[in-house]
Amino acid sequence: MRCSFAVAAVVLAVLVVHPVRAEQALVLTANLQVLRCEPPGTDIRFAGSSAPGQIFLPDERVRIRARRGSEAGIVEIDDLPIPPRFGTYALVLIRGGERRFLGTVARVPAPRADATLETTPIFGEFSFFDREEAYAARAAVYERIGVRGMRLETSWSERQDGTYDWSRLDRMRPRRTRSS
């Protein structure tokens, strides 16, 4: 079966995070209408990419993976023609006259290698770290886009003996993945 991909620009406002109920869909109907496509289906589903969080740096080849139905096999699409311009792009599968939304990828500037909290005005919101099993993957996304600090509201975990338990915060602390 031959599939072709069309890449359509997505307005960045679509990515603004709003508090939503857990049962609300991630893919909004209004956005699908703008893209003139159907929501993700069960026949072909986006299964990931070669970059953390689908965030690609300049000149990186865009490689994505898709899964067909309930089959265990993964289809890999290498060197997807995502424009070099920084932005967020929707992946829309066009097959047999049908347009189906698969997912999004972003192209971002490479962060400064020597950046510090003082030289990089980018702070992340720690609510992004809502599930412990996702800490490492989410830390990789933040590092990928140059986040060097985060805002965190927390309570102190004082033990009965007057010492503090920092283990929960230690587990949340992103580990540097890049060699220093």
Residue 141 exposure: Cα atoms within 13 Å on the Cβ side: 16
**Which pLDDT does position 71 carry in this prediction?**
67
Q: What is the mean pLDDT of each run of 10 residues along the chain (180 residues)?
A: 33 30 64 92 88 93 88 84 91 91 92 77 70 82 80 74 80 53
The single residue listed with the structure tokens 């230690």 is 170
Number of helices (H) and strands (E) in the chain: give both, helices first: 3, 9
**Which pLDDT does position 65 carry in this prediction?**
92
Q: Are strands 149-151 and 123-125 parallel, antiparallel or unpaired?
A: parallel
pTM of the model: 0.66
CA 118 to CA 36: how far, in whole Å?
A: 44
